[in-house]
């Protein structure tokens, strides 16, 4: 199968390349970049030196649809919705890494993103690409919207306990800690090493746009409105997200029962590991431990003092939070083994 990446010079594009170049069932036929057209990809993604002689080419949709069976769109929010219709009509499958097709309700775009959607008719055709929630729909989809990185970590952490219906739906707090690669590859004062080193920067304490997709997905589970209080912090690491989800329960719950709930939801999932040791440095999820892998590590504790459940989930934002889930989606859409190309063991220590 031939795959293309539209917009491959950023960190998500680079991570897609890393995965797809090693994937045994696909060939990377085209990667585009306006800025770097004509340049070897390894000049931009130095880890690819010696691995490929691929070059960036100018974006040209008809050329891409001719060459590819499936196209990943790794473009800024608001851009892919202008491109997707043409690709969609060509019959080529699409995995969109942006937010443009994640929300079902067109009205949510002006509200959360500040612009009106240009192809609202495609929103219902798009599938929210979180395999753990929508595996069968993804298999049948032609257009998949890959979840936001913070949304992926929060939804996976919360879905099983939300499903029990025993949660105070308006007091759910998601406190996330994100590595610098989450802000992309473009230098800014905020990402300047001297300014970012050692920070714990609460860059979005309220109003983060991933709130919309988290509320959408969790509300759908119980067919009732769930409100999410999301706060995002940037910390001194490159890859990774830890989502600390604080949930108040409507009745006391035992750790053993929480374990059963999560085991029931995720026992067969290839990329979710439940982490709950009694002791040791590695007894809770930590993004450090999933670096470079597609795992979402999930753990929890019950706080009897306040009848609170703390669910912790750790992902690599470029993997399970972006390129890894996208390849997992591709595997489902193309009928491959779901884990194909995603089995590499992570590094430790790193």
Residues 34-93 that bind a copy of itself (CB under 8 A): 43, 45-51
196-225 residues near a copy of itself, rule: CB under 8 A: 196-203, 205-207, 211
Nearer to a copy of itself, 37 or 347 (CB): 347
Active site includes 149? yes
Contact of 36 with 17, CB cutoff 8 Å: no
Contact between 256 and a copy of itself by CB under 8 A: the answer reads no
Cα angle 228, 284, 157; round to 5: 25
- Please select the residue that binds a copy of itself; options are 231, 253, 334, 340, rule is CB under 8 A: 231
Q: Which of 78, 81, 8 is nearest to 45 (CA)?
A: 8
Minimum distance of a copy of itself from residue 169's CB (angstroms): 10
Interface with a copy of itself by CB under 8 A: which range of 10-18, 58-66, 158-166, 322-330?
A: 10-18
- Please select the residue that binds a copy of itself; options are 141, 146, 157, 235, rule is CB under 8 A: 235
Contact of 74 with 80, CB cutoff 8 Å: no
- Please select the residue that binds a copy of itself; options are 63, 227, 253, 334, rule is CB under 8 A: 227
Q: Which of 320, 178, 308 is nearest to 243 (CA)?
A: 178
Task: Give the whole-angstrom CA distance, residue 106 versus residue 208.
Answer: 18
Residue tagged 């884990």 (tokens)? 339
Cβ burial, residue 58 (10 Å; 0-12/13-18/19+): exposed
Residue tagged 């940037």 (tokens)? 234
Interface with a copy of itself by CB under 8 A: which range of 23-31, 130-138, 278-286, 327-335?
A: 278-286
Contact of 4 with 29, CB cutoff 8 Å: yes
Contact between 166 and a copy of itself by CB under 8 A: the answer reads no
296-325 residues near a copy of itself, rule: CB under 8 A: 297, 299-303, 305-306, 308, 310, 312, 314
Minimum distance of a copy of itself from residue 51's CB (angstroms): 5
Contact of 48 with 17, CB cutoff 8 Å: yes
96-155 residues near a copy of itself, rule: CB under 8 A: none
């Amino acid at each position: 199968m031939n795959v293309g990446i539209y917009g491959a010079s950023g960190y998500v594009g680079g991570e897609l390349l890393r995965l797809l170049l090693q994937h045994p069932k696909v060939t990377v036929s085209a990667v585009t970049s306006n800025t770097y057209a004509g340049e070897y990809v390894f000049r931009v993604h130095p880890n690819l030196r010696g691995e490929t002689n691929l070059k960036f080419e100018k974006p040209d949709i008809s050329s891409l649809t001719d060459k590819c069976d499936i196209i990943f769109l790794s473009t800024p929010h608001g851009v892919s919705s202008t491109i997707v219709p043409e690709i969609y009509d060509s019959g080529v499958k699409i995995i969109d890494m942006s937010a443009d097709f994640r929300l079902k309700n067109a009205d949510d775009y002006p509200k959360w993103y500040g612009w009106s959607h240009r192809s609202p008719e495609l929103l219902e055709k798009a599938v929210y690409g979180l395999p753990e929630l929508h595996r069968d729909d993804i298999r049948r989809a032609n257009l998949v919207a890959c979840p936001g990185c913070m949304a992926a970590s929060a939804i996976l952490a919360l879905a099983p306990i939300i499903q029990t219906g025993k949660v105070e739906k308006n007091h759910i707090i998601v406190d996330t800690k994100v590595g610098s690669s989450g802000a992309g590859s473009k230098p800014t004062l905020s990402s300047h090493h001297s300014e970012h080193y050692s920070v714990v920067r609460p860059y979005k304490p309220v109003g983060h746009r991933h709130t919309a997709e988290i509320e959408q997905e969790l509300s759908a589970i119980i067919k009732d409105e769930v409100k999410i209080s999301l706060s995002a912090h940037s910390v001194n690491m490159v890859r990774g997200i830890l989502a600390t989800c604080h949930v108040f329960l409507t009745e006391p719950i035992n750790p053993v029962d929480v374990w059963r709930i999560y085991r029931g939801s995720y026992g067969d999932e290839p990329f979710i590991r439940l982490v709950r040791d009694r002791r040791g440095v590695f007894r809770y999820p930590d993004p450090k431990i999933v670096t470079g892998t597609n795992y979402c590590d999930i753990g929890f504790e019950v706080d009897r003092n306040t009848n609170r459940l703390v669910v912790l989930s750790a992902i690599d934002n470029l993997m399970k939070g972006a390129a890894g889930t996208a390849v997992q989606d591709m595997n489902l859409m193309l009928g491959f083994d779901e884990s194909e190309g995603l089995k590499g063991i992570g590094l430790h220590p790193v």
